[in-house]
Amino acid sequence: MLIFVTGGVRSGKSAYAQQRALEICADPVYVATAKIWDEDFKARVKRHQDDRGPEWTTFEAYRDLHLLPLDNRTVVIDCVTLWLTNFFMERDNDIELSLSDFKKEIDQLAILPGTFIIISNELGMGMHAETALGRQFADLQGWANQYVAAKSKEAVFIVSGIPLFLKQ
């Protein structure tokens, strides 16, 4: 089962997804999709790591998440934006190839037994990107979010730490 959790930066998405996972099981899995690009981002990752207790199993993976030992587990995948960045960079900023790769991975996760809570950002509600590349990525993010939401049993939008249930 897929559960989609989306919202703005620092809206409370990760806290909500982690709490939800702990309500489902006592030993959830956290899959971090980020590559550490700089010291500021390293500090953000550290904050996320500090939020999780010893009951969590953590994997770091940039693609092929379905190959991880996730069967019959409750898994938080954080986050689509960083995951997409990996595809976008590997595919030389080709939106179609990046989206195709991403959809294949979502489809592979959707057939695994378990619960997958997938976190994403809503980029289209924020500031308009200054560069053409930034606008292309925002489009890619929007299409990826639509795809995950359509495949998910549940979709939750987090605003100021408050979950709004879009699909149950």
CA distance 10 to 159: 9
Q: Is 48 a catalytic residue?
A: yes
Task: Mark residue 165 as left, alpha or beta (left: phi above 0; alpha: psi -120 to 50; beta: remaining).
Answer: beta
Q: Of how many residues is the chain composed?
A: 168
Contacts with 1 (C-beta within 8 Å, 6 or more apart), sequence order: 114, 115, 116, 153
Q: Are 56 and 30 in contact (CB under 8 A)?
A: yes
Name the active-site residue from 48, 91, 103, 151.
48
Residues carrying an active site annotation: 48
